[in-house]
Amino acid sequence: MADSGFSYSLDQIKQMSEDVLKVAKNSGASAAEAELSLSIGQNVSVRMGEVENIEYNRDKGMSVTVYFGQQKGHASTSDLTPQALKDTVAAACNIAKYTAKDAFCGLADASLMATDIQDLELHHPWDISVDEAIAIAKECEAAALHVDARITNSEGASVSTGTGFFAYSNSHGFTGGYPSSRHGISCSVIAESDANMQRDYWYSAARAAADLQSATAVGKIAGERTVRRLNAKKIKTCQVPVLFEASLASGLISSLVSAISGGNLYRKSSFLLDSLGKQIASPLLNIYEDPHIKKGLASSPFDNEGVVTIPRQLVKDGVLQGYMLGSYSARKLGLQTTGNAGGNHNLIVQSGALDFAGILKEMGTGLLVTELLGHGMNMVTGDYSRGAAGFWIENGVIVHPVEEITIASNMADMLKMIVAIGNDVLVQGSKQVGSILIERMTVACE
């Protein structure tokens, strides 16, 4: 699907964003920032060999934030005509007049704006027709269904493609923007044996279609993951080592990121308050943030406030080296923004020497978790309790699948009880991490 159908070019929306700032200034705003974006996408899904959905999206929008001293107003629109843009600025200005003063609001410091915006190769349109996408989705589903005769049903396979661009400007004189793309293939199937039914899935995502796993590979992995869950058993309550496979290990890192993010810190709703420079995790944990990976799924030369992004060590040998801050939360904490307005950028967790089989062997007896249910972590205390499914391990070998269990601990303790990080790294989002082995957790039968 080509991206030639945009109503405006990147240069045009950059100019439009600057024009919005002029309107804000003429309306009396002391400072302002604006973002315009356009995107198009296509998603095709099939189920049991038949086309189920063909979806298109074509989105555009503008958001503007104005400041009258310490008063802030925000408004947005999906209408990019000149009059609509002016009306939206007027709405933001009107809101600001009725907003209480906030000493911490405002643009990020001018000295922190990105000045050399490098090309990170984030834009790789996929010129794929609907018929071609349907064929790939059918190939993916067929590969899953052919894994085992016990796979009797399907939740479908899908092929998605999307591309777009944005421009951000603020009254420091900063204007930046770039195009980007994201594509994906996914599949989910259902297996049945002796009245026992299980489902599982797999997916691949990338900036460029050439970097996706093949449709056959995605389908085969989805099928294999589903079949291996059949005839699951329950286990007795125990305290054992727990291994989070790579696709779930990123969730542990996400919990850490949330705990060191500005909003939770200044609200004092984090179990890692005042942890800068302190040992928060096992010495095995090293996390590096690299915003400038070419074709990275979370790469960006600047953050949502125009602040230049900089590669940095976030955790070194288990010691926290920095927080995740935008300008507002930084001011609330008496610190400086870290260029993370909008989120983290490509967190890379250093792998150990062991592969997945090696970590299972090191674990000996315990639980391998392959699915988590619910959102059971208290960010204030770190208490962690999630429904789970996976496999019981004995002598480093998978013995049988397990289901209807709960795993529980405290995230602060879990981070310090990391005893191995695998080199089976998955790249499916903003965090790149292998499987993580926790020394001990409570596993309870539901």
User: Which of 227, 254, 281 finishes a domain?
Assistant: 227
Instruction: Measure the CA–CA gap between 46 and 331, rounded to whole angstroms.
Output: 50
258 and 148 inside one domain: no
In the listed set 227, 250, 274, which residue is the last one of a domain according to the structure? 227
Distance, CA of 217 to CA of 213 (rounded, Å) = 6
| Res 354 pLDDT > 70 | yes
Within a domain: 187: yes
The answer to which of 115-119, 192-196, 223-227, 331-335 has the lowest mean pLDDT is: 192-196
Cβ neighbours around 395 below 10 Å, total: 10
Instruction: Return the ∠ at Cα 172 (arms to 171 and 174), rounded to 5°.
Output: 95
Structure confidence at residue 194 as a pLDDT band (50, 70, 90): confident
Residues 87 and 25 both lie in one domain: yes
How many CB atoms lie under 10 A from the CB of residue 4?
8
For 372-397, the pLDDT digits (tens) are 998 789 999 999 999 999 999 999 99
The whole domain housing 408 covers 232-446
Last residue of a domain, one of 203, 227, 251: 227
351-376: average pLDDT: 92
Q: Are residues 55 and 192 in the same domain?
A: yes
CATH code at 100?
3.30.2290.10
Q: Which residues contact 15 (CB under 8 A, 6 or more apart)?
A: none
Q: What is the reported pLDDT for 446?
A: 62
pTM over 0.95: no
Q: 4 pLDDT exceeds 70? A: no
> In this predicted structure, which of 120-124, 312-316, 372-376 has the lowest mean pLDDT?
372-376
Q: What is the pLDDT of residue 183?
A: 97
